[in-house]
Amino acid sequence: MKWNASGSKPTIRSVLLPIVMLTSICELGLAGDIPLGWQTYRSPDYGFSLSYPSDFKVYAGTPSYEEAQHSMIPICERETVACFEYSGGAYKGTRLQAAGVAVNVLRAARTEQQCAAIDTGSYPVRKTRIGGLRFYFGETGGAAGGTAIGGPVYRTFHEGTCFELAALFVTDNTEHEPGEVRKLDAVKLEKQLDRIVHTIRFSGRRPSSGPASDPSRAACLPFAIRRFQI
């Protein structure tokens, strides 16, 4: 134990107060990642969690055609292990057919290089960090039968598995008479999808194996330990 300048032992309060304050700061940082009122889905098979607002519906795996909202091009497909689909009514009467975030496992991508090969056309593939992990991301898009799909796709190669988060919009791309459909102003929805993507955390594939190792929490621990060495 270290002594202070006066030669007396530090009090318990003086030792613990910085640790308590640091713990509070770390907890606030983690809580701030998830907006108030959102719910959290945890995958028992793949060890990730993702949070979402109340006007989204969650499907554990690929939803059937009867379950999901109908769109010409689905946002969740065979590789999907969790599907978060917008189910609100704010965009009724617009060109929006479906929107959501699909968490996909790309089993054919066996290396990080293969995982990072996102088909973005002429758009660049860039890097970012989410929850302490490196992600590759880029804009994707396509069209078929008068329907367009597009949005950013994020991928990370985690524990030998390529995970993809696709934040997608499906819209009606056919001609309409003036006034037949409402203007689609989807800025708020785009921000929601982006926020959902950035709540992803990995804690290992066996939840019963012990406390989850949250990368954002781990960033707080070394400093807390150093402050505790008295």
For residue range 41-65, list pLDDT tens digits in order: 999 999 999 999 999 999 987 777 6
Q: For residue 69, what pLDDT is reported?
A: 54
**Model confidence pLDDT, tens digit, residues 130-145:** 999 999 999 999 988 8
Task: Report d(CA 168, CA 140) in Å as an integer.
Answer: 9
What pLDDT does residue 23 have?
35
Residue 209: predicted pLDDT: 37
| Domain at 41-206: CATH code | 3.40.1000
pTM higher than 0.85 for the full model? no
Which two structure tokens, joined as six digits, stand for 55? 């006007």
- What Å distances lie between residue 143 and 63, 73, 173, 190, CA to CA? 21, 8, 8, 19
Distance CA 64, CA 77 (A): 9
